[in-house]
Structure 1
């Protein structure tokens, strides 16, 4: 039954509406009048007016309420459905065919496509059959001829997931024709893309039966179609279909396990379908990136896997040429050849080994010191590629880091081991990484370092001259590779540096050093990890099969070759879903087809809502009946007051803030202080608004991020005011009143440190806010996070929730701050990092295993500092300068917390200059042990020594401090 857009699954239940008049009559009827009996004594009550009277009839509004409850119950039991797009009538004479686009382009609106397909049988009779046709080809695709009941169809559609490859509508038509079904009508839940083949497909379906189309094209950016990399970063191309308005989206650079290393913004101008997201990140971080993903968008097309062929290589250069004119050095030609595809780092061998690049190139370095040679050998065996170029020094003497033994002299025209004419490049062995390269005849070799005859020389030769002598040799050493060009990197010995062959040789030599080869014509690549329809990395399915290297370039994602990373002789190669482009938006649907909008394609089941309304009306009727019957308790005014007072007394303790946020009123004590004049700073207005950036530029201020929790934000502001005042009174740092900042809009670089105190169940920051914090950290800023959870003494750290609160924050590996860290002596000499809670650990960026020093601040200061001791609470003061909150350990612990705050700011502002020992003599002199033994003159270092606390005996610790400083100066362990 279908009156208009409303459908009824149990229409016979509507017969109950006929009974509404009878229900109305029964409800309106009153009990019979009571029988009267004469009782003379009742005449005494004739003049008494009754306080409560029973109405002769039920009030009309109660009748209406009960009738509405009955009608809602009857309608709810009829299982009504609101389906504005349902088709009923003569079209119900046969089965219904539901066609669903389940390719990767349908993922962004997959739930809406499922809902539209599930509603296809709404409006049809109970015995109407459904048939399902999926347009993405699969080995186990359901046969369209399978007859499905309403329940089976809904369950089958709910179990479907989109695939990570595209649709093949021609194949779907062939399967439909082979099934032989003749549907009465067809509903196509389309992804709205594929202009030409979609129109042809719609025409073919319309020729079979009346066609309705629900097109759910992606609304926003949904696919990454390209990636270009350079030495200084990467650029990702993002695609969308709706170009009517300007828009922006974010792309994240992720490791293989999903950790976000960086985020970039892609801005779409109105009318533009593509935008570029540019990543400018350090080379060490870029080397860890395995994939890029559009933030907040599901789908295989929103992920781009970065294989080893496209990755920018990190190469370290060490030159043995000490010429002051770099354009005349051999390394100049190597640099020019590498710049298009590699990130280049210059430095000493020690520095480059520590940086662990993909390859280290040395030009004319003949012999290394024994210890350095051993370290280089360990680096190569660990997987490094050492590429060396010959020269006079290498010809005179060489070490063990060469692929083959060498003669002690070079071969040149006119020399002892001469040839009459310059030689050209001859051949490349089939097993060589250089196989397939051209051998230009105009490249002439005039001098070379010869290899000693050796049984393995032929297998180690990568390139030969025309006379058969080796030009390039290579050999494996552990997991790494040694490569030697038997000529110089400059034009002194050959014309090779002038040619494009030189560039390709270097590129392949670096790849081969990491166990890869750039020759893809032979071999097979096996799927290592694949991408499912939702854009998640999964293990390869049973139907994923290897692919020949020669077919990789033209590979189209399919069930047998799904998108993912494939490993083979050339390292890893990626098949990306949207690499072939994005189908065009369909704008020319057939006029004979009925297009369904979002509202028409959706159905709303009203049965539950109506039955819920019935229960609500019955509950209201019950409350009204009890009120009219006088069943609610009636309390006198005095009883009301007593209950109110008792309730307030009971709930008062519960209304107090938790233990970590209880404010206390502490009377003045030796640790209290008043607000210093000039501390407040000056306000600067521009266009009627406070210009915080200008204020922070003119007067140093600390800043904090508001969390939305008023109590936590109040404590944070009070804590920063207390820390600023401590700095103002005790040091030469004179900060003004702290600022609150919005990381999405405010200038962050003007603040030396930004504080974030996390409340319980903190809301996550937006992607833009996190990205601007990442930029702030990369530019040298410091972010101090106080999780305030130090009250949980069982935990070692309390920052496991940071990934949720700060999604995408470029968080480095963390390590606890050691007792000998520079932060323990940057101003005061302290042995811990006190806060409101005692014995809590402080965490900073880990310095161990850093691949690239540029990823850390230039002065070695950690940009991220995390603690959980509720430091802000220990620093917090009120307007009068009095402490606001209690501290474990009392006033002395509060003083140590203040000293830690001063040390923290000195660490952030001045860096790690206290790491050296040059200040120890001045400290000893300040302690009264100068050379003349007299009173030392005041120096700029005088504030390094903690002041004597009132009522304490801190000066008794001075001998211990002097002894510690002497041990540090003499290098004696404490």
Structure 2
């Protein structure tokens, strides 16, 4: 290329055509020959008349300017100009091979596009035949060989196809590969992440010694990475690190589930002079257990994502029932239960029932002797991977069994006894090898009595916690795949006040996790990659190069192509490997004196050929339009029309852009795990163009149901008649008064105006379009209710799912479950024990209660799937006559209509009936019920399938209506 200041020309000889501009100017300004004067006698009658229009003797200057600019723009565009402020003014042809070095580790992800643009721009500073070589600093098995010669076109394509990796750079490895290649570059361009990690200054000095070096440094925006995490029972703290400690800065961290749902957001503030800041999350432990990752809002990259393994997930814990206790609030099990409730699912029962359910842990409090059959069950369960947690007490101090981690002395140590302390003992700090490492020991915790372990050579290796005098407080022993853990004190306050502290639930949580091998530094076992991070911080399936990782290596291994950051599945659950764990990124402060540093503007390059040729084509089109207008081939523009056009153009170009007004912004989570900035300030929703259809206006003013229009006309008519029958039933029996149903086109109709949409699926239906699926997803997220009826109830078995999967592919459906017994849908208006339609004894599927993707906070399902053909049972004609037969006759049709009423009531009123059904018992307890029982007394419950609202209704003050 030929350089002219900051401009480079790929075809400079095309500029020679600019010499022709004076010739073109002379042609455009040429005067046409003067007309000959011929005297005609008849023309004398026109003598003295002035012509209304005069032909100019020369081409108007503005027409000449338009044509000259068009020709000039076309000539310059054909010369392939490139605006490259970073290019040298002199020609670089013949300067030797160009080596492009790119840092493609995780620190480069936030500004990856800038690095790629800078590397591509430097290709424009040489000739087309210039040899190009590529060197990437993030090690890979199939990394490009620096000795491979590329053309500028091939190099541009390869650079554009590159993506940042999820592991860090290894510049020493890059130098080794460069030395092995034997390449002698003529000049070097380094697209650097600007970080000192892995010898950044030494790497720059080495490159500068080989050839003239040009550097474009694009360090990540602050904060640069999430480096560590600390968790407690109901809180977690995420540590962020920035590059420079100047000024005060803020960043936001979001806590996400594995599927990308945001549970909480916290702000981290960097004080002036500090490189680290913490984002603290204080949320219920049950919600905390659902968190799978933390990510810095608006910052892409594997370094700004912290994966959280399964060690703090919700646990299933079994408590062995010790029988009835006269004072349950004073029992040891009460304190254990209260400590577990925030983060565990608790089940109480006998050893036999608990072992059959196989929970994560089983807890025993002061049991001295276990029945032989129960001991055998517990031993087998522990061998298969269970965690048995036991607490000592008077019974265990007097006698024991074999399900203990260490041998015990048959006596307890207490104040005033033979093995007495002078004063209650405090807890010693936890050792680094203990699963309790990292927990803060409260200074006010005191132990007054304990069961002592027999001294032995292996006692130290089995001890997880000690008292201040060195005696064991918590011991553990691995049995097969499981673990037996013993607290040498009672779970209640009899021997210690540990149960009153915040440390107690945290120790229990770690014990339960360690029982599954998730918090113990096990030296055995391997973990296979389950989900890994790409360079942008998005979870994806592991590639073919990802290999299993030994459990013992998690603490020391550095992420690489063989072991990328991600979640690893193994015998103890999931383990997380994070890209920026314990990282301390710092900037390169000094560069080699001979290196040439490019700023952000200098590193950019803009190809001007396309814009110039487009501008030339626009000017030629404008010239053609003017010529046609002058020649009279276009309609004349009147004064009013011209004024309106001018006003319209002025409004178009002078109107402020949507972002011109001051607005506040927030970041919204996208489906791919990234965040997009959206305005949260006041916005104006434009009215739809044209007049809205009357059906849309009616649907907005009066409630009505909708049914999906299908290619099957008969199905559409059946759906219309069915919803008409349901609306009639509601009108006659309830206060809900729907209008006639509407036929809906999923791609065009305003779905949000309809509280219920019924989709009767025809046989052989084609899959829904992407637009229809997207609009259905938006409808469900906004609180709509979609009923899908496959009408396959005449075939035995459950609902046919295969056809629905192909038909509704892409629908963002939450996890489903059959309607459980006692669900509010069975009593929202009538008391029902089934959901029949034309066919009886069919299952109805709804959303799982409490699922992460549930669209409503009250747990009301927005999706209903079945095959009972309800519309045929509801359908009536305009005179109220039933249109289709029902298998079970009139009784089943009545039950189907009652289900329809319950369905609509459930959709419209939510789950308030869950509370209303308890109202009679509450009133009775308050003494406001009927003295003799009445309708709400201890008399018989209303029979099944009766109308629940037939019982007397109470006013807010409890007086029956």
TM-score, shorter chain, exceeding 0.5: yes
Is residue 662 of structure 1 aligned with residue 639 of structure 2?
no
Call closer, same or farther: CA 1:228–1:66 in 2, change over 3 Å: same
CA deviation map 1:804-849 (0-9, x unaligned):
999xxx99978899998769989x9999xxxxxxxxxx99985479
2:917 equivalent among 914, 917, 938 = 914
CA deviation map 1:600-648 (0-9, x unaligned):
10001111111111111112111211222222225999999xxxxxxxx
1:629 equivalent among 612, 628, 631 = 631
Secondary structure, in 3 states, of the residue corresponding to 2:19? helix
What is the correspondence of 1:126-275 to structure 2 with a 5 Å cutoff? 126-194=128-196, 197-275=199-277
Call closer, same or farther: CA 1:524–1:188 in 2, change over 3 Å: same
Secondary structure, in 3 states, of the residue corresponding to 2:44? helix
1:863 equivalent among 847, 858, 882 = 858
CA deviation map 1:904-963 (0-9, x unaligned):
9997999714345448999xx99xx99999xx9xx9xxxxxxxxxxxxxxxxxxx98589
What is the rounded CA distance, in whole Å, between the counterparts of 2:820 and 2:325 in structure 1?
44
Aligned to 1:46: 47
What is the correspondence of 1:445-844 to structure 2 with a 5 Å cutoff? 489=490, 510-511=512-513, 513-514=515-516, 518-634=520-636, 655-659=690-694, 661-662=696-697, 788=754, 790=756, 800-801=777-778
Structure 1 stretch displaced more, 904-913 or 234-243? 904-913
What is the rounded CA distance, in whole Å, between the counterparts of 1:266 and 1:581 in structure 2?
18
CA contact (8 A) 2:827 2:913 kept: no
What is the rounded CA distance, in whole Å, between the counterparts of 2:700 and 2:261 in structure 1?
46
CA contact (8 A) 1:786 1:866 kept: no
Call closer, same or farther: CA 1:277–1:921 in 2, change over 3 Å: closer
Aligned to 2:74: 73
What is the rounded CA distance, in whole Å, between the counterparts of 1:334 and 1:820 in structure 2?
31
CA contact (8 A) 1:102 1:136 kept: yes
How far residue 209 of structure 1 moved from its aligned partner, in angstroms, is 2.1
What is the rounded CA distance, in whole Å, between the counterparts of 1:543 and 1:354 in structure 2?
40
What is the rounded CA distance, in whole Å, between the counterparts of 2:32 and 2:171 in structure 1?
73
Aligned to 1:110: 112
What is the rounded CA distance, in whole Å, between the counterparts of 1:525 and 1:664 in structure 2?
57
Call closer, same or farther: CA 1:319–1:625 in 2, change over 3 Å: same
CA deviation map 1:718-737 (0-9, x unaligned):
xxxxxxxxxxxx9xxxxxxx
Call closer, same or farther: CA 1:436–1:72 in 2, change over 3 Å: same
How far residue 170 of structure 1 moved from its aligned partner, in angstroms, is 2.2
How far residue 302 of structure 1 moved from its aligned partner, in angstroms, is 1.7
CA contact (8 A) 1:445 1:494 kept: no
Structure 1 stretch displaced more, 156-165 or 254-263? 254-263
Aligned to 2:61: 60
How far residue 359 of structure 1 moved from its aligned partner, in angstroms, is 2.5
How far residue 863 of structure 1 moved from its aligned partner, in angstroms, is 3.4
Aligned to 2:20: 19
What is the rounded CA distance, in whole Å, between the counterparts of 1:595 and 1:512 in structure 2?
52
TM-score, normalised with respect to structure 1: 0.60
Call closer, same or farther: CA 1:180–1:789 in 2, change over 3 Å: farther
Call closer, same or farther: CA 1:390–1:802 in 2, change over 3 Å: farther
What is the rounded CA distance, in whole Å, between the counterparts of 2:782 and 2:599 in structure 1?
37
Call closer, same or farther: CA 1:635–1:515 in 2, change over 3 Å: closer
How far residue 263 of structure 1 moved from its aligned partner, in angstroms, is 3.3
What is the rounded CA distance, in whole Å, between the counterparts of 2:119 and 2:478 in structure 1?
64
Structure 1 stretch displaced more, 434-443 or 3-12? 434-443
Aligned to 1:9: 10
What is the rounded CA distance, in whole Å, between the counterparts of 2:256 and 2:224 in structure 1?
17
CA contact (8 A) 2:860 2:910 kept: no
How far residue 316 of structure 1 moved from its aligned partner, in angstroms, is 6.4
Structure 2, unaligned runs of 5 or more: 413-450, 643-686, 703-734, 736-745, 762-767, 784-811, 833-843, 865-877, 879-899, 937-944, 954-961
What is the rounded CA distance, in whole Å, between the counterparts of 2:176 and 2:933 in structure 1?
103
Call closer, same or farther: CA 1:817–1:324 in 2, change over 3 Å: closer
How far residue 364 of structure 1 moved from its aligned partner, in angstroms, is 4.1
How far residue 596 of structure 1 moved from its aligned partner, in angstroms, is 0.9
What is the rounded CA distance, in whole Å, between the counterparts of 2:519 and 2:558 in structure 1?
23
CA contact (8 A) 1:843 1:865 kept: no
CA contact (8 A) 2:123 2:156 kept: no
Call closer, same or farther: CA 1:55–1:474 in 2, change over 3 Å: same
What is the rounded CA distance, in whole Å, between the counterparts of 1:665 and 1:84 in structure 2?
58
CA contact (8 A) 1:845 1:862 kept: no
CA contact (8 A) 2:314 2:345 kept: no
How far residue 318 of structure 1 moved from its aligned partner, in angstroms, is 6.2
**What is the RMSD of the two structures over their aligned residues, measured on CA atoms?**
6.4
CA deviation map 1:224-245 (0-9, x unaligned):
1111111113221122325545
CA contact (8 A) 2:858 2:910 kept: no
What is the rounded CA distance, in whole Å, between the counterparts of 1:848 and 1:342 in structure 2?
16
What is the rounded CA distance, in whole Å, between the counterparts of 1:31 and 1:812 in structure 2?
79
CA contact (8 A) 1:233 1:278 kept: yes
CA deviation map 1:256-296 (0-9, x unaligned):
34343443333334444332222333333332333222233
Call closer, same or farther: CA 1:898–1:21 in 2, change over 3 Å: farther
How far residue 653 of structure 1 moved from its aligned partner, in angstroms, is 12
Call closer, same or farther: CA 1:475–1:171 in 2, change over 3 Å: closer
Aligned to 1:838: none
What is the rounded CA distance, in whole Å, between the counterparts of 1:231 and 1:491 in structure 2?
19
CA contact (8 A) 1:787 1:867 kept: no
CA contact (8 A) 2:307 2:566 kept: yes
Call closer, same or farther: CA 1:28–1:830 in 2, change over 3 Å: farther
What is the rounded CA distance, in whole Å, between the counterparts of 2:780 and 2:105 in structure 1?
32
What is the rounded CA distance, in whole Å, between the counterparts of 2:311 and 2:627 in structure 1?
79
Structure 1, unaligned runs of 5 or more: 415-420, 447-461, 464-470, 641-651, 668-729, 731-758, 763-784, 832-841, 870-888, 890-896, 940-958, 968-974
1:120 equivalent among 99, 119, 122 = 122
Is residue 101 of structure 1 aligned with residue 107 of structure 2?
no
What is the rounded CA distance, in whole Å, between the counterparts of 1:787 and 1:274 in structure 2?
50
Secondary structure, in 3 states, of the residue corresponding to 1:580? coil
Call closer, same or farther: CA 1:444–1:560 in 2, change over 3 Å: closer
Secondary structure, in 3 states, of the residue corresponding to 1:124? coil
Call closer, same or farther: CA 1:492–1:40 in 2, change over 3 Å: closer
Aligned to 1:303: 305
Call closer, same or farther: CA 1:618–1:329 in 2, change over 3 Å: same
How far residue 120 of structure 1 moved from its aligned partner, in angstroms, is 1.1
Call closer, same or farther: CA 1:354–1:274 in 2, change over 3 Å: farther
How far residue 199 of structure 1 moved from its aligned partner, in angstroms, is 1.9
How far residue 118 of structure 1 moved from its aligned partner, in angstroms, is 0.7
How far residue 574 of structure 1 moved from its aligned partner, in angstroms, is 2.4
CA contact (8 A) 1:202 1:590 kept: yes
1:424 equivalent among 451, 454, 459 = 454
Call closer, same or farther: CA 1:788–1:94 in 2, change over 3 Å: farther
What is the rounded CA distance, in whole Å, between the counterparts of 1:573 and 1:20 in structure 2?
72
